[in-house]
Amino acid sequence: MEKIYLSQVKTGETVVLSEVQVDNIKKHKRLIELGFVKNTKITMLKNHKPNGILVGLRGYSLALDNKLADSILTERCQECKK
C-alpha cells in the first residue's frame, strides 16, 4: 500500500490511518481521543490547500490545518475505494 500524508489526500478519497507523527504530546493525545488511531478509515471531505482540510471519520467531520495534516500518515488501499 502507498503511504501518503493526510494533507495529500484528494477530496472524496478514503484512506486508512497508519501513524500520527506529532511531536507535541498534548496534540498527539488529543488526536487519539478524537479517533485518530491506527487502521481508522478517514474520508477527505474537502481539501482546501493551503487553508486546511475537512475529514470524516468515525461518524463525524473534523477540520484540521495543513500543518497538522502533514503529520498524519495514511495508506491508500483498494478496499477503501467505493
Return left, alpha or beta for 43; rule: phi > 0 is left, psi -120 to 50 is alpha, else beta: beta
Q: Which mean pLDDT values do the consecutive 10-residue runs of the chain (82 residues) have?
A: 92 95 94 94 92 94 94 88 59
Cell of 7: 494533507
CATH superfamily of domain region 3-80: Ferrous iron transport protein A (FeoA) (2.30.30.90)
**Rounded to the nearest 5 degrees, what angle is found at the Cα of 35, between the Cα atoms of 21 and 25?**
40
**Domain edges within the chain:** 3-80
Q: What are phi and psi of 78, to 5 degrees?
A: -70, -40
Residue 72: predicted pLDDT: 96
Burial of residue 47 (number of CB atoms within 10 Å: 0-12, 13-18, 19+)? buried
